[in-house]
């Protein structure tokens, strides 16, 4: 009876995974049988103040600069180009790709803005990113890594976040913004059509908000974007974000294999830090919440990758909530609750973290690895940061907080028990 039950469960899980079967194709990565294990090259070709605060420091006390749009508008084309080329040429180098591969990772997700592929009249953004992106794809090939190209910002902003390039109102679905986004996808797909051995996935748009946008238009854009990629490559995986809606109850049945499209990955982002209830959770609650995501992740009828997640259990990192803004955790964001002292988590290094924070993260990260490998895999945000230690995959791994190899566990079985395994919790 036990054997039959186990067999039935295994067969059910297999049927879900095989709902989008991988036929014989010249695809550069087998998303059916191999787990995605990757990192996001955040803060490189799309700026985020909290990842590289040094670029924004002169506006720490005001001046209207809060994102890449206002930065380039304030500096002007020439000075913005000079500063950004300095950043692009130094923030990510081939040494990063070599270390990424040495850690057993197989993917890098590279965020890039529409303005790199389809600059629009009147935009202050500067160009020049693409030679660095071309170079990065070569580095990935040199080190056996696959690349997911992620359109992280759309004209008008798809979510109003600073990481879309322009913080403020959501205006993506007004005017010609959506067609201009499709043009950016077309230019991206055309540019890298011959490099599908490395560029194995193209994400049509990062985190379009289900608020401020019409979901029907988002779904139409996903079909249009899929068709645009297919015009240039029939095998490259096309990634769609879940728009912060349930991957299973909302997205099952949409763009699955039975609907007539192939090789679609659903991207979901899992953070436990952007509400007061989340930052109020104890370490074991964070672990339990990560483990509780397994049924939702497994129950999708498409490949599913957790395309962003982190070791952070707080929103303490400097400017994580926006340039000049504080944290929910210590009550400096909107002055609501107080859940603890940010201490070394605000700005510093992994080595400088409190030992208790290191231990808590160790358990939390391992639980997330177990949970997110229950389907197609994961991509950690971010590869590195200037001074946000909870988010720095490179330094967390160097310090032994992220396991090596990635399948090793100091604290196995956390998702197989309801008991808290973290000391002192």
Active site residues: 207, 308
Distances (CA, A) of 411 to 47, 291, 293, 365, 370: 36, 14, 19, 10, 11
Give kind and range of the element (H or E) at residue 215.
Answer: helix 215-230
What three-state secondary structure class fits 299? coil
CA 173 to the chain's CA centroid: 23
Of the candidates 378, 401, 377, which has an alpha carbon nearest to the alpha carbon of residue 389? 401
Separation CA 111–CA 43 (nearest Å): 8
Q: What is the DSSP letter of 378?
A: E
- Length of the chain as a residue count: 425
Q: How far apart are CA 301 and CA 258, in angstroms?
A: 10
Closest CA to 189 of 126, 220, 235, 154: 235
**Residue 122 phi, psi (nearest 5):** 90, -15
Buried residues in 85-119 as b, exposed as e (16+ CB within 10 A): eebbeebbeeebbebbbebebbbbbbbbbbbbbbb
> In angstroms, rounded to a whole number, what is the distance separating the alpha carbons of residues 330 and 81?
37
Which helix (DSSP H) or strand (DSSP E) does residue 267 occupy? strand 264-269
End-to-end CA distance of the chain: 37
Asked if residue 373 has a cis previous peptide bond (ω within 30° of 0), the answer is: no
- Which residue in 216, 185, 221 sits closest to 201, CA to CA? 185
Tokens of 98: 């070599």
């Amino acid at each position: 009876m036990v054997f039959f039950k186990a067999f039935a469960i295994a067969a059910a899980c297999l049927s879900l995974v095989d709902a989008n079967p991988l036929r014989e194709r010249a695809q550069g990565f087998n998303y059916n049988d191999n787990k995605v294990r990757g990192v996001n090259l955040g803060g490189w070709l799309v700026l985020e103040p909290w990842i590289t605060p040094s670029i924004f420091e002169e506006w720490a006390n005001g001046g209207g600069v809060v994102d890449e749009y206002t930065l380039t508008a304030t500096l002007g084309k020439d000075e913005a180009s000079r500063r950004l080329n300095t950043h692009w040429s130094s923030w990510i180098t081939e040494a990063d790709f070599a270390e990424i591969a040495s850690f057993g990772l197989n993917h890098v997700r590279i965020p890039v803005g529409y303005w790199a592929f389809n600059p629009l009249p009147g935009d202050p953004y500067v160009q020049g990113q693409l030679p660095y992106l071309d170079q990065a794809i070569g580095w990935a090939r040199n080190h056996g890594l696959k690349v997911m190209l992620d359109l992280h910002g759309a004209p008008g902003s798809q979510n109003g976040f600073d990481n879309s390039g322009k913080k403020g109102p959501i205006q993506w679905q007004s005017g010609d913004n959506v067609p201009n986004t499709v043009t950016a996808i077309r230019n991206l797909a055309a540019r890298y059509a011959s490099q599908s051995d490395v560029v194995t996935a193209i994400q049509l748009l990062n985190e379009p908000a289900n608020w401020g946008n019409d979901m029907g238009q988002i779904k139409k854009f996903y079909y249009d974007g899929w068709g645009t990629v297919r015009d240039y490559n029939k095998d490259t995986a096309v990634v769609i974000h879940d728009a912060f809606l349930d991957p299973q109850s909302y997205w099952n049945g949409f763009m699955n294999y039975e609907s007539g499209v192939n090789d679609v990955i659903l991207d979901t982002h899992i953070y436990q830090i952007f509400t007061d209830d989340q930052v109020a959770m104890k370490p074991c609650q964070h672990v339990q919440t990560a483990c509780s995501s397994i049924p939702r992740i497994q129950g999708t009828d498409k490949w599913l990758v957790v395309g962003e997640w982190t070791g952070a259990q707080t929103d303490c990192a400097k400017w994580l909530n926006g340039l000049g803004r504080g944290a929910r955790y210590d009550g400096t964001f909107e002055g609501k609750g107080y859940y603890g002292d940010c201490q070394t988590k605000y700005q510093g290094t992994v080595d400088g973290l409190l030992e208790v924070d290191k231990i808590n993260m160790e358990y939390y990260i391992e639980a997330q690895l177990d949970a997110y490998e229950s389907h197609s895999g994961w991509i950690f945000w971010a590869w590195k940061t200037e001074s946000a230690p909870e988010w720095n995959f490179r330094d967390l791994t160097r310090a032994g907080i992220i396991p090596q190899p990635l399948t090793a566990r100091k604290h196995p079985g956390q998702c197989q028990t309801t008991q808290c395994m973290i000391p002192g919790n």
